[in-house]
Chain A
Amino acid sequence: MFDYTFQWNQVLVRLPKMLDGALVTMEVAVLSMLIGITLAIILTILRLSGSRPLKAVATGWIEIARNTPALFQIYMAHFGVASFGIHFSPFVSLLIGITFNNAGYLAENFRGALKAIPDTQARAGRSLGMSQIQAFGYIILPQMLRISFLPMTNQMVWAILMTSLGVTVGMNSDLYGVTQDLNALTFRTFELFAIAGVIFYVITKFITLSARIIASRLFRY
């Protein structure tokens, strides 16, 4: 019916290279999440602040991150800024693009979580003599992170999958980039990308499962 001979051996000997790529993929995703969560907390605080310009910056960021393609965001971080003479390596551009996206989505999740925490919680903290920052840090923030823990896990999965967009800005050390290069070398397209797909699946499954275990350890209340 169709004339294609599977040649898995050619691909399996190159599996170590792909696994190295998977490590880079995870590195980008983890970094983008750590920085993204930090930025999302800052965006959330800016949105709560009384200052109009600060609110506008936060709202603008969130709007762009959530309403434009991730590919556009990564492109802008590489070729867009290059127009102004700012040049980043593909790794840095990809990291900036995904982090920008993460921060926007997470800030929106945090806003929803904040709405679920009664105002009286901060008030109780303030009435015990805490400053506004202390009340936020010790009372609001931990509850906010708990409520948005599952959405954060989702975003982490997205971050892993978004790394595949790095090839468009010349990234070739991550899982998808390595796979693409190997494909150019061997033309074993189906086998290579099928294995890449399995590796992506295993990574994201591992993340969701470990998140569930962490949640049950962390949130005992």
Chain B
Amino acid sequence: MIEIQNVHKSFGQLEVLKGIDLVVQKGEVVTVIGGSGSGKSTLLTCINGLEPINSGKILVDGTEVHAKSTNLNKLRRKIGIVFQQWNAFPHLTVLENVTLAPRKVLGMAKAEAEAIAERQLMHVGLGDKLLAYPSRLSGGQQQRMAIARALAMAPDYMLFDEVTSALDPQLVGEVLETLKMLAEEGMTMICVTHEMAFARDVSKRVAYFHQGVMAEIGAPEQIFGDPQHPETRKFLASVR
């Protein structure tokens, strides 16, 4: 379970999160929508401790992410994150990209890590690209590789930060299919996205962020069918 309690976060003078409260249960898929600069991506990087917070608390399975005593390297093993820019490691093959962390972080033997990596890459449809270097892959393939790379650590939670925003339109579908598949398998996910159809189909709950505040959260039918907050209505009207 991920518990976010009254989290405030500023970059210098600019307050980007103004008291966020959110609980995500095991197996739940929550999507976060909202305009740019609304703080949605920042929230994800706070959850896995890549960014410090100014006040409040984030608990992952009861462990306080930003407590001094927390071993972040260890905590991050159970929180996978995939970014808008997929950040493939260009000097490693697809297979090595995926086996690197299991081998070096979890201390797995090469053969074992490769077996897991092959399975994950197969899963995201890259079984025939194991020995290719990322530069030979399309953006969509690289993004799916990044997803496999995160999954190879066997995380309990997956965070997706606008993973289709940097892709050519014709490549968006293949990545969304991968996310959908994960959701159906019961992975706990928080997805920041601009893909409204995806948010409607896949999520259990949809949260609308506006200027650092979670203006509204609810079932997709309610958010898309009967938005309560005027800002949500405005936003949805503008993206339709």
Q: Which of A100-121 contact B (CB under 8 A)?
A: 118, 120-121
Q: Are B104 and A130 in contact (CB under 8 A)?
A: yes
Find out whether the CB atom of A120 lies under 8 angstroms from the CB atom of B150. no
Which A residues lie within 8 Å of B134 (CB)? 221
Residue of A whose beta carbon sits closest to that of B105: A129
Binds B, one of A134-142, A181-189, A201-209: A134-142
Is A130 in contact with B85, judged by CB distance below 8 angstroms? no
Give Cα A129 to B50, complex, Å: 11
Taking a contact as CB atoms under 8 Å apart, the answer to whether B101 and A143 are in contact is no
Interface residues on chain B, number (Cβ under 8 Å): 26
Contact check, A221 vs B101: say whether CB atoms are below 8 A apart: no
Q: B86-94, B177-185, B219-227: which one contacts chain A? A: B86-94
Number of A residues whose C-beta is below 8 Å from B? 21
Min distance, Cβ B2 to any Cβ of chain A, angstroms: 16
Q: A146-B91, A220-B133 are in contact. Are A120 and B83 (CB under 8 A)?
A: yes
A residues with CB within 8 A of B:
118, 120-121, 123-131, 134, 138-139, 142-143, 146, 219-221
A-B pairs under 8 A by CB, number? 62
Contact A128 B153 (CB under 8 A): yes
Query: CB-CB < 8 A to A130: which residues of B?
Result: 73, 101, 104-105
Task: Output the least CB separation between B27 and chain A (Å).
Answer: 22
B149 touches A128 (CB 8 A): yes
B contact residues around A131 at 8 Å (CB): 73
Please determine whether A126 and B87 come into contact, CB atoms closer than 8 angstroms: no
Q: Are A123 and B50 in contact (CB under 8 A)?
A: yes
Segment touching A, from B16-24, B74-82, B120-128 = B74-82
Give CA–CA (A62, B135) in the complex, Å.
34
Chain B residues with CB under 8 Å of chain A are 48, 50, 73-74, 76-77, 80-81, 83, 85, 87, 89-91, 100-101, 104-106, 133-135, 146, 149-150, 153
Contact between chains at A129 and B133 (CB < 8 Å) = no
Given A123-B83, A130-B105, A146-B91, 9 extra CB contacts under 8 A? A120-B85, A121-B87, A123-B50, A126-B76, A128-B101, A129-B73, A138-B100, A220-B133, A221-B90
Give A125 to B101 CA distance when docked, in angstroms.
8
The complex places the Cα of A124 from the Cα of B73 at a distance, in Å, of: 12
Contacts of A134 in B (CB 8 A): 104-105
Partner of A128, one of B91, B133, B150: B150
A residues in contact with B133, CB < 8 Å: 220-221
Contacts of B135 in A (CB 8 A): 221
Establish whether residues A129 and B74, one from each chain, have CB atoms under 8 Å apart when the complex forms.
Answer: yes
CA distance A92 to B185 in the complex (A): 65
